[in-house]
Structure 1
Amino acid sequence: MKPIWVALAATLTVLMTSFNGMPAKTVTDAERLFSDLMVGYSKMFRPVLNESRQVVVSTLLDLISIQDFNEVEEKISFTGLLFLAWKDERLVWDPKDYGGIDNLYIDVSKIWVSQMMLTNNVNKNERLSEDWHTVKVNASGVCAHHIGNVFTSSCDVDVTFYPWDTQTCSLDFMPANYGVDKMILYPLYHKVKLTYYSPNGACDLMDTSVTSELYSFMVRFNVVLERKPRFAIVNVLLPLIIMSALNILVFLIPTECGERISFCLTVLLSIAVFLTLVGDNLPKNSNPMSLFSYYLVSVLVISVAITLAVICSLHMYHRSEKQQPGGAWRAIAMCLGCYYVRRTGSESADRTNRSDKIKFARPENASDRSFPGMHSMPYSIHTHRSEILYLPTHSNGTPPSARPEDKPLQNKETDDSDSSVLEITWAEVSIALDKVFFLFFILLLITDTLCFLMIIYHNVSL
């Protein structure tokens, strides 16, 4: 039964073909066509009957994806299809003579093919077409050749506004074995085709263009890429700002704990190592220089200045008390923390005078026997500033007149109390400077970061 069904299907196909007026396309017709075309054909000669004419090759690039963009080595890899079309005047036939065959696929090793090369290739320049590629030829002699490959080209990277930078990379194609008098390239479209394009995770494709260069001897496919800055912000910029702010917090650590220098140096070394890692991901060129590199240097300078400020503060804190602060240091300490220092000094002096300077108005070597009835004699309490003087009173309650030798003692103690109020030590000067350093470096870091971001935003927006 099976041969019968096969025979019926073949008969039905022939009848339908005859009914439609179309001849059957058989393998025999294709082999005969290929044999007739190859008679006297040589791929060494250009596909024109008049050798004085130029071969016009139409070009088209269909971009599939962006494989890799290495800004350090300044190279980019594209996956794409390069379309080439030209007319071979020696490959023309009448489809009626060959069973209606109007196109034929021929290996590139059999016929003339426009050999192209990528002029800005970072690797060795080689021909793009391979022997296993095929060329589609139609009855009028138009040949269509598709070259699918990963094209790796050099790209002049401009990282001035990294990580908000925009790059323009290109693929430059030109003939590999002919001059401009023999062969020219003509772009079919002014844009790169994106029929099968898949987006890239590191950058966005913003625009494309196609230009003809060197008197139509070279075709340049331009691709404009914009970096996605989120990765650099989260992994580079924010950690750098956080570590810089952490370094400023060293001024809030008490001086007595002895951990200031170790904390400051640890953060400084962490920032230095981090800057080294970031610098390895930037191009090694000086023109143009990245603004982000200047920002990294400024952060490092701020960290070094913080370390020097901490050393200066510790040096003042541990200076000998025999060397009193000079007038300038006393003025700085009084302007920044004098109210706190004076209030603390006066309160401590009052507490000291109340507890220690309690004296009796009587001779030091006198005994109770020198004053008969002293235990029964009433006393009056006389308070002068922070001194409490117990003076014997008469029976009528009036105190005796103060002796002349007691007055200098009272005046001397009064002068000592006044001088303790204004006394400023090196430790108090160091504490006052810590406040100044903390505010100064906070403002400096904020100003530095805002200036960097504003400069980039202003130039990018333009």
Structure 2
Amino acid sequence: MDLRRDLEVPKRHLSESNRLFEDLFRTYQKLVRPVVKPNESVEIEFQFKLLQILDVHEKEQILSTSGILNHVWTDHRLRWSPEEYGNVSMLHVPGERLWLPDIILYNNADGTPTPRKITKADLYSNGSIRWTPPAIYNSLCLIDTQWFPYDEQLCTLKFGSWTYSGDELDLRQPDSDDLENITLPDGSCEIRVEVGVDITEYQESVEFDLLSVVGSRHERYYPCCDFPAIDITYDLAIRRKKLFYTVNLMIPCIGIAMLASFVFYLPSESHNKITLCISVLVALTVFFLLLIEIIPPTSTATPLIAKYLLFTMIMVSLSVAATTFVLNIHHQGIKPMPTFIRTFVIQFLGSSMLVYKKPSECFEKKKKRMPINDALRYLDDQFKKVEQVQCKIEKATLSYPTVISINHTLSNDKNEPVRRELRHKIRKISKNIKYIQKDIQRETNNEDMRSDWKLVAMLTDRVFLLIFSLVILAGTLVVTLTAPSLRDTRIPVTVYFPEVITYDDE
């Protein structure tokens, strides 16, 4: 008996709901606005409930969001007394059976601007209707690429009635203590609330931080019409999270930029310096192609990453020119070196960079050695002394004479022809020695000049290495640290506002 009685209660309740539904919709006309007088307006309490930021399409400049549209209004034709219908105070009514406000997204970019599915609505005994259809919107969002990838975007969602004027359908935001009335310069009225979007069920995006969700109700008059146009606009301020693009875009770009300076660390005679520069340029070109696929083709601003890539390409191009200049210096050969280059580069820069000893230190060591010219002059004097010796020799021979035989030969007055021939040979030997000495001296001087030019090339490489490293480091800091979001310490709104205004059951 108890089980039967328990089953009869829901059945009786169901029958009362059926009777209530039949009574309410027997003469109900869903094509007519729920007003008593024609000049009355239907007051719609509207709020967008944001569930998730699906994506930001930078190239197409579209913001994709998922949310729920909360509508609350009163239909006087659908009121009843719960006591007359078994204390039934609420019905779930299919949306197709009700008059529904035609609220659409004005700045829709793709897809339908209205909810894709007409869901059921909650109908209360006092005639209040609560309709919460889900929707996925692709709204237009003007992407500001100036600070990409450390950028902040301000995207708007503008909702309003498509056919009804402000005198027929009055859109309003939920009551809140934060509502602020503002009169705009054009004379229109704006009612702003700091947290206009319901974010109680918002799922945080993996790419963007949600900074603010300001809601504004606008009531404007246009020259074409005497009635106001009412809309509710939500401004979503989002900030791109830094980790992904820093690791996958900025750090590789900075690494490639640093390679441009290491070109000057290679030996100055290496032809691979040019190869490395060209390879860096090719890598930067690949990054430019990737960047073109990401950002929109706009001429309003140059993205931050594009500025840095352009700066790096300029530095790499200059490094190619500098490397060519260094290679030209290295292969100067025996060309005489100007005095100011020898003084400034070899003596000043060389001693400053501890790459080359001061010339004075080398000259001190050379003073201890006898110059070759002095040695030859000394040898020539000795030969002259030999010629003056009056010695007698008994016999002469020209084949491998010993020292004693030479002395005997030179001392013999009868062997004057032999003495003259010997003197001629000695002079010829002296002449050949002088020629060899001059050739060795010339080759030594040429080698010294080549070494000096190589030293100048090496010192020039070191100077370029220092200059390029400092310029690239300074350029990296200036270009990257100028992004405002790097100094933005604002807390995401989902953390700062853990609770927002929601609708209470009627």
Answer whether contact 2:111 2:137 (CA < 8 A) is retained: no
Match of 1:308 among 296, 301, 321: 321
Pairing 1:202–2:207 present: yes
Pairing 1:154–2:159 present: no
CA distance in 2, matches of 1:155, 1:245: 36
Deviation string for 1:69-99 (max 9, x for gaps)? 2223221111111100111111111122222
Answer whether contact 2:150 2:485 (CA < 8 A) is retained: no
Give the letter aligned to residue 440 of structure 1. Answer: I
CA distance in 1, matches of 2:485, 2:41: 50
Correspondence list, 1:111-150, <5 A: 111-128=98-115, 130-131=117-118, 133-150=119-136
CA distance in 1, matches of 2:90, 2:456: 94
- Equivalent residue, structure 1, for 2:56: 69
- Equivalent residue, structure 1, for 2:431: none
Instruction: Kindly state the Cα deviation for residue 366 of structure 1 after the two structures are TM-superposed.
Output: 4.7
Pairing 1:363–2:380 present: yes
- Equivalent residue, structure 1, for 2:266: 253
- Equivalent residue, structure 2, for 1:10: 4
CA distance in 2, matches of 1:433, 1:234: 34
Change in CA separation of 1:331 and 1:307 when aligned onto 2, cut-off 3 Å: same
- 441-450 or 276-285: bigger deviation: 276-285
Deviation string for 1:313-358 (max 9, x for gaps)? 112222342x323345444423322753737975997899789985
Instruction: Kindly state the Cα deviation for residue 265 of structure 1 after the two structures are TM-superposed.
Output: 1.2
Answer whether contact 1:55 1:184 (CA < 8 A) is retained: yes
Change in CA separation of 1:185 and 1:129 when aligned onto 2, cut-off 3 Å: farther
- Equivalent residue, structure 2, for 1:48: 35
- Equivalent residue, structure 2, for 1:173: 159
CA distance in 2, matches of 1:427, 1:26: 103
- Equivalent residue, structure 2, for 1:263: 276
CA distance in 2, matches of 1:56, 1:458: 41
Change in CA separation of 1:194 and 1:274 when aligned onto 2, cut-off 3 Å: same
Unmatched tracts of structure 1, length 5 or more = 1-6, 18-22, 377-408
Give the letter aligned to residue 458 of structure 2. Answer: I
Match of 1:109, SS? Answer: helix
Instruction: Kindly state the Cα deviation for residue 186 of structure 1 after the two structures are TM-superposed.
Output: 0.4
Answer whether contact 2:217 2:233 (CA < 8 A) is retained: yes
Answer whether contact 2:65 2:138 (CA < 8 A) is retained: yes
- Percent sequence identity is 23
Match of 2:157, SS? Answer: strand
- Equivalent residue, structure 2, for 1:277: 290
Instruction: Kindly state the Cα deviation for residue 231 of structure 1 after the two structures are TM-superposed.
Output: 1.4
- Equivalent residue, structure 2, for 1:342: 359
Change in CA separation of 1:218 and 1:362 when aligned onto 2, cut-off 3 Å: closer
CA distance in 1, matches of 2:386, 2:218: 125
Deviation string for 1:6-45 (max 9, x for gaps)? x32233677xx8xxxxx98522222221222122221111
- Equivalent residue, structure 2, for 1:213: 218
Match of 2:466 among 439, 442, 447: 439
CA distance in 2, matches of 1:289, 1:64: 33
Match of 1:206, SS? Answer: strand
Change in CA separation of 1:127 and 1:423 when aligned onto 2, cut-off 3 Å: closer
Pairing 1:28–2:15 present: yes
Answer whether contact 1:25 1:101 (CA < 8 A) is retained: no
CA distance in 2, matches of 1:458, 1:186: 34
Change in CA separation of 1:128 and 1:362 when aligned onto 2, cut-off 3 Å: closer
Give the letter aligned to residue 164 of structure 1. Answer: Y
Change in CA separation of 1:74 and 1:308 when aligned onto 2, cut-off 3 Å: same
- Equivalent residue, structure 1, for 2:337: 325
Answer whether contact 1:60 1:82 (CA < 8 A) is retained: yes
CA distance in 2, matches of 1:141, 1:441: 76
Give the letter aligned to residue 84 of structure 1. Answer: H
Match of 2:76, SS? Answer: coil
Change in CA separation of 1:217 and 1:107 when aligned onto 2, cut-off 3 Å: same
Answer whether contact 1:166 1:225 (CA < 8 A) is retained: yes
CA distance in 2, matches of 1:125, 1:364: 113
CA distance in 1, matches of 2:105, 2:56: 18
Give the letter aligned to residue 361 of structure 1. Answer: Y
Change in CA separation of 1:357 and 1:32 when aligned onto 2, cut-off 3 Å: farther
- Equivalent residue, structure 2, for 1:229: 242
Correspondence list, 1:415-426, <5 A: 425-426=452-453
Answer whether contact 2:150 2:486 (CA < 8 A) is retained: no
Match of 2:478, SS? Answer: helix
4+ long deviations beyond 6 Å: 347-357, 371-376, 416-422
Give the letter aligned to residue 442 of structure 1. Answer: S
Instruction: Kindly state the Cα deviation for residue 236 of structure 1 after the two structures are TM-superposed.
Output: 1.4
CA distance in 1, matches of 2:215, 2:368: 89
Instruction: Kindly state the Cα deviation for residue 303 of structure 1 after the two structures are TM-superposed.
Output: 0.8
- 81-90 or 150-159: bigger deviation: 150-159
- Equivalent residue, structure 2, for 1:106: 93
Match of 2:461, SS? Answer: helix
Give the letter aligned to residue 318 of structure 1. Answer: H
Deviation string for 1:150-189 (max 9, x for gaps)? 2221212223333332222222111122122211210115
CA distance in 1, matches of 2:33, 2:73: 11
CA distance in 1, matches of 2:469, 2:364: 34
Answer whether contact 2:212 2:237 (CA < 8 A) is retained: yes
Unmatched tracts of structure 2, length 5 or more = 177-192, 221-228, 393-401, 405-433, 490-506
Compare relative contact order (CA 8 Å, sep 6+) and give the higher one, 1 or 2. 2
Answer whether contact 2:57 2:63 (CA < 8 A) is retained: yes
What is the root-mean-square deviation of aligned Cα atoms in Å?
3.7
Match of 1:113, SS? Answer: coil
Correspondence list, 1:343-422, <5 A: 346=363, 359=376, 361-363=378-380, 366=383
CA distance in 1, matches of 2:69, 2:368: 93
- Equivalent residue, structure 1, for 2:45: 58
Pairing 1:452–2:457 present: no
Give the letter aligned to residue 99 of structure 1. Answer: G
CA distance in 1, matches of 2:267, 2:361: 18
CA distance in 1, matches of 2:485, 2:170: 43
Instruction: Kindly state the Cα deviation for residue 128 of structure 1 after the two structures are TM-superposed.
Output: 2.0
